[in-house]
Amino acid sequence: MATTAYRPGTSRPLPRVAGVPPRPGARAVADARATGGGAAGQHDGPPDTLVLGRRIRHLRTARGMTLEDLGRAIGRAPSQVSMLENGHREPRASQLTAVAEALDVPLRELLRPEPPTRRAALEVALERAQRGPLLAGLGVPSVKVGRSLPTDALDALVTLVDQVQRLLVEHAATPEEARRANTELRARMRAQDNHFPDLEEHARTLLAAVGHRGGPLSQRATAEIAAHLGFTLHHVADLPHSTRTVTDLAHHRIYLPHGEPGVHDSRSPLLQALASHVLGHTEPRDYADFLRQRVEANYLAAALMLPEASAVALLQEAKAERRLSVEDLRDAFAVPYETAAHRFTNLATRHLGVPVHFMKVHEGGTLHKAYENDGVVFPSDPLGAIEGQPVCRQWTARVVFARDDRLSPFHQYTDTTAGTFWCTSRVQGSAQGHFSVSVGVPFAHVRWFQGRETAARAASRCPDPTCCRRPPEPLAQRWADRSFPAARPHASLLAALPVGVFPGVDTTEVYEFLDRHAP
What is the per-residue pLDDT for 388? 84
Q: How many CB atoms are closer than 10 A to CB 474?
A: 8
pTM of the predicted model as reported, rounded to 2 decimal places = 0.67
Across the chain, what does the average pLDDT equal?
83
Query: How far is the C-alpha of 367 from the C-alpha of 379, rounded, in Å?
Result: 8
Average pLDDT over residues 264-292: 86
DSSP summary character for residue 400:
G
Amino acid in the structure at residue 422: W
Which residues make Cβ contacts (< 8 Å) with residue 402, sequence separation at least 6? none
* In the predicted structure, residue 31 carries a pLDDT above the cut 50: no
H/E run at residue 119:
helix 118-131
* In the predicted structure, residue 103 carries a pLDDT above the cut 90: yes
Sheet of 435-442, strand order: 367-372, 357-362, 435-442, 419-428, 410-416, 457-459
Give the pLDDT band of residue 45 (cuts 50, 70, 90).
low
What is the per-residue pLDDT for 305? 95
Read off the pLDDT of residues 304-320 as tens digits, 9 standing for 90 and up. 999 999 999 999 999 99
Which residues make Cβ contacts (< 8 Å) with residue 457, sequence separation at least 6? 412, 413, 414, 415
Query: How far is the C-alpha of 324 from the C-alpha of 332, rounded, in Å?
Result: 13
* In the predicted structure, residue 381 carries a pLDDT above the cut 90: no
Least confident of 114-123, 155-164, 260-269: 260-269
Read off the pLDDT of residues 171-224 as tens digits, 9 standing for 90 and up. 544 445 677 788 888 889 999 999 999 999 999 999 999 999 888 899 999 999
Q: 369-375: long-range contacts at Cβ-Cβ below 8 A with a sequence spacing of 24 or more? A: 370/186, 371/186, 371/189, 371/190, 371/194, 371/345, 372/190, 373/45, 373/190, 373/193, 373/194, 373/349, 374/45, 374/46, 374/421, 374/440, 374/441, 374/442, 374/445, 375/45, 375/46, 375/418, 375/419, 375/442
Average pLDDT over residues 407-427: 94
Give the pLDDT band of residue 170 (cuts 50, 70, 90).
low
Query: How far is the C-alpha of 120 from the C-alpha of 51, rounded, in Å?
Result: 8
Angle at the Cα of 52 (from 46 to 56), degrees rounded to 5?
145
Share of the chain above pLDDT 70, in %: 84
Read off the pLDDT of residues 82-92 as tens digits, 9 standing for 90 and up. 989 888 888 88
Cα–Cα distances in angstroms (integers) from residue 488 to residues 352, 365, 435, 494, in the given order? 41, 13, 16, 11
What is the per-residue pLDDT for 489? 54
Cα–Cα distances in angstroms (integers) from residue 385 to residues 117, 187, 353, 499, in the given order? 32, 11, 27, 20
Average pLDDT over residues 472-484: 79
SS3 of 179, please? helix
* In the predicted structure, residue 5 carries a pLDDT above the cut 50: no
Sheet of 253-257, strand order: 232-236, 253-257, 246-248
What is the per-residue pLDDT for 504? 60
Read off the pLDDT of residues 282-300 as tens digits, 9 standing for 90 and up. 887 777 888 899 999 999 9
Least confident of 58-62, 131-135, 439-443, 483-487: 483-487
Average pLDDT over residues 234-251: 89
| One-character DSSP codes across 475-517 | HHHHHTTS--PPP---GGGS-PPPTTS-TT--HHHHHHHHHHH
Query: How far is the C-alpha of 440 from the C-alpha of 438, rounded, in Å?
Result: 7
Measured in degrees and rounded to the nearest 5, phi and psi for residue 73 equal -65, -30
Least confident of 116-120, 211-215, 309-313, 486-490: 486-490
Share of the chain above pLDDT 90, in %: 53
Average pLDDT over residues 382-407: 89
* In the predicted structure, residue 371 carries a pLDDT above the cut 80: yes
Give the pLDDT band of residue 326 (cuts 50, 70, 90).
very high
Give the pLDDT band of residue 227 (cuts 50, 70, 90).
very high
What is the per-residue pLDDT for 15? 37
Query: How far is the C-alpha of 488 from the C-alpha of 353, rounded, in Å?
Result: 41
Measured in degrees and rounded to the nearest 5, phi and psi for residue 272 equal -65, -40
What is the per-residue pLDDT for 459? 95
Q: How many CB atoms are closer than 10 A to CB 75?
A: 10
What is the per-residue pLDDT for 455? 96
Read off the pLDDT of residues 498-519 as tens digits, 9 standing for 90 and up. 444 455 677 788 888 888 898 8
What is the per-residue pLDDT for 479? 80
* In the predicted structure, residue 379 carries a pLDDT above the cut 70: yes
Least confident of 28-32, 222-226, 482-486: 28-32
Average pLDDT over residues 413-437: 92
* Strand pairing report for 253-257 and 232-236: parallel
Check whether the bond before 8 is cis (ω within 30° of 0). Answer: no
What is the per-residue pLDDT for 418? 92
Q: How many CB atoms are closer than 10 A to CB 319?
A: 19
* In the predicted structure, residue 134 carries a pLDDT above the cut 90: no
What is the per-residue pLDDT for 173? 42
Q: How many helices, marked H, and strands, marked E, lie in the chain?
A: 20, 9
Angle at the Cα of 53 (from 47 to 59), degrees rounded to 5?
115
Our CA dihedral for 52, 55, 61, 65, rounded to 10 degrees, sits at -50
What is the per-residue pLDDT for 447? 96
Query: How far is the C-alpha of 370 from the C-alpha of 364, rounded, in Å?
Result: 16
